Amino acid sequence: MKRKEIIKLEDVSFSYTNEEFLKNINLSIYEDDFLGIIGPNGGGKTTLLKLILGLLNPKKGKISVFGDTPRVGREPIGYLSQFKDIDFDFPITALEIVMLSRVGKKLFKRYSKQDRQAAEKALKSLGIWNLRDKKLNELSGGEKQRVFVARALANDPKILLLDEPMLNLDIHIQEEFYEILKKLNKKIAIVIVDHNLEMLSKYAKEIVCVNKCDTHTIRYHDVGKIKMKEISHD
């Protein structure tokens, strides 16, 4: 059976200033992918995800998301941004956070029974339904991360984009989390930015490196079944 391509980047370049930051990127993501993204700090991993989500526009090249432009096609993407952008003191409960991915275009959105059920399902699938009324800053690091994954799942996405969700989490929680992703990957595609090559080589089906990767590192961790490729060259 032929794998369905859901996201495609063709010759994509991007720059914040005059200097090109990402150059001629070609990348295809398929419906059953478990893709790890690695690369140096400040090397453009987050930028790559933001381009796919239509939060940034490429300077050159074409991005297709579910057969459309990113802004039109991004609806079935579940996104987990880097935690450093979140205000953890915001007065909001776990359930409220998860419900937010059901708000959508309508300015006067009222939650339906369906919305509530979707949020409940997402929280239960991550085993944190019992934490639903906890305030964000009452949760531990691992619990917070699950809440944000539940938010990404509450909209029945076909693909999850996760930007360094493992930062500052201890190794057992990371392993547990990768097991959850493995289960999810039976139904949806997973794209994860992470520095932990050991974990990635155990769970990811493919790893790509964005910008100026240290080839020595790649070879060292290259495990037989993993296909490794570099998608940006200088």
Radius of gyration of the chain from its Cα atoms, rounded to whole angstroms: 18
Tell me: does residue 225 bind another protein (CB under 8 A): no
Cβ proximity to another protein, 11 vs 138, nearer residue: 138
How far apart CA 66 and CA 72 sit, in angstroms, is: 9
Cβ proximity to another protein, 82 vs 185, nearer residue: 82
Tell me: does residue 135 bind another protein (CB under 8 A): yes
Count, residues near another protein per rule CB under 8 A: 33
Cβ proximity to another protein, 189 vs 200, nearer residue: 189
Please tell me whether residue 52 adopts helix, strand or coil conformation: helix
Per the CB < 8 A criterion, the answer to whether 221 and 201 are in contact is: yes
Strand 189-193 relative to strand 34-38: parallel, antiparallel, unpaired? parallel
How far apart CA 232 and CA 234 sit, in angstroms, is: 7
User: Nearest distance from residue 229's CB to another protein, in Å?
Assistant: 27
Tell me: does residue 196 bind another protein (CB under 8 A): no
Q: What are phi and psi of 52, to 5 degrees?
A: -65, -35
Per the CB < 8 A criterion, the answer to whether 196 and 218 are in contact is: no
The interface mask with another protein, positions 89-128, x = CB under 8 A, is -xxxx--xx-xxx-xxxxxxxxx-----------------
User: Nearest distance from residue 135's CB to another protein, in Å?
Assistant: 4
Cβ proximity to another protein, 40 vs 54, nearer residue: 54
